[in-house]
Amino acid sequence: MFEFLILETFQAGLSWITILKKRENFRKAFDQFDYRKIALYSEEKYESLLQDAGIIRNKLKIKAAIHNAQKFIEIQEEYGSFCAYIWSFVDGKPLQNSWESKATVPATTPLSDTVSKALKAKGFKFVGSTVIYAHMQATGMVNDHTTDCFRYLEVQS
């Protein structure tokens, strides 16, 4: 869950393919997305990330990744796990949509607006509604495969 949150954060304003091509670089640069390690990153580690040509070197997004790792841990302490918290917004079950074409799949929904606001209230950064909806799609919280996609029925819950 944390890996996708980081990747979605860095994807904001960029194409998903750009992030996917750099995914292994991100994994290496961010200690296999170990949020416990990331939460403790020093200024020196932050500076080294800014010099890493293998990732997106956006100062604010790198700072947000470190900050969000700290908030991720706080959510775990409060709710038992981040999954328990985030999946509570969908009552633990993936939402099943029935979009007929990619053009009809929204970038945000009222639910992603709600989750975004809740995460911001908990102190998370770079978690706008579009980022959160992409996170929900990537983690299976919502099935946005179009009805003509071979995966649509396979991922029905």
Residue by residue, pLDDT tens for the chain (157 residues) are: 999 999 999 998 898 899 999 999 999 999 999 999 999 999 999 999 999 999 999 999 999 999 999 999 999 999 999 999 999 999 999 999 888 888 999 999 999 999 999 999 999 999 999 999 999 999 999 998 887 878 877 777 5
DSSP state of 53: T
pLDDT for res 155: 77
Contacts of 32 (CB under 8 A, 6+ apart): none
Domain ranges of the chain: 2-154
Class of domain 2-154: mainly alpha
In degrees and rounded to multiples of 5, residue 89 shows phi and psi of -70, -20
> Can you tell me the distance from the alpha carbon of 33 to that of 101, in angstroms, rounded to the nearest whole number?
33
pLDDT for res 156: 76
pLDDT for res 157: 59
> Can you tell me the distance from the alpha carbon of 122 to that of 119, in angstroms, rounded to the nearest whole number?
5
Q: CA 111 → CA 19, 47, 107, 114, distances in Å?
A: 25, 36, 11, 5
Rounded to two decimals, the pTM is 0.92
> Can you tell me the distance from the alpha carbon of 129 to that of 134, in angstroms, rounded to the nearest whole number?
9
> Can you tell me the distance from the alpha carbon of 114 to that of 129, in angstroms, rounded to the nearest whole number?
8
